[in-house]
Amino acid sequence: MANWKVIGGIAGGVIVLGAIGNAIDGGDSSTSTAPVTSTATESSDAKSGSKDSSSETKAVPNFIGMGLQSAQDTAQAAGFYTLTSHDSLGRARNQILDRDWKVCSQSVKAGKAMPTDTELDFGAVKLAEACPKTDQAEPTTVGGTMPDFAGKSVKAAKAALDSGTSVEVEDASGDGRYIIIGSNWKICTQTPKAGTALNGQPVEFTAVKFDETCP
């Protein structure tokens, strides 16, 4: 009886870890027909209903280099309340804690006069990361053909595939690590290879963490 309790405890722990990973990664275990590239964000002022229903035309501020939370506050102070953000590195990460991210790009050029109901989209990376020269697009499937996923995040690759696709991911290092937060892992190899027609066949990836080198 004691052995069954130990086994049950271990199984429960694995389930809990998986649930935590999915919550952190914005539901990484699920796949969708299109990658999720942005996360809507609002400050407490916007959520409290202080948004002005009338639309004016104002100059868009320069947000580049600001922390994401500061950029949102600045945008709302200027009258722009429709805000969204996305991962500039194309890893499909969600900006859960805005103060941990900085703005690399903005969808509307600074100084351009726009109606205040215009949506502003911020491209962002984490504070310790360098901004890319241009935002890196997430992979997409075109005409049912397998893309080249090498170097892309596991989460972004899953999101690019049809929601019914069976996907298996293994640790390319051979250490047998669990791949819980897919946006923290990059793809090393894939089966089928890029350019193969997708007809519902299972897909296999090997991956390592982004700060590691593929073997």
User: How do the pLDDT tens digits run along the chain, 215 residues long?
Assistant: 545 444 444 445 444 444 445 445 544 433 333 333 334 444 444 433 445 546 899 999 999 999 999 999 999 999 999 999 999 999 999 999 999 999 999 999 999 999 999 999 999 999 999 999 999 999 988 889 999 999 999 999 999 999 999 999 999 999 999 999 999 999 999 999 999 999 999 999 999 999 999 99
Look at the pTM and tell me if it is higher than 0.75. no
CB 107 within 8 A of CB 119: yes
Backbone angles phi, psi at 184, to 5 degrees: -95, 0
What's the token pair of residue 14? 């694995």
Q: What is the CA radius of gyration of the chain?
A: 20
Domains of the chain, CATH where assigned: 2-31+138-209 (no CATH), 39-126 (3.30.10.20)
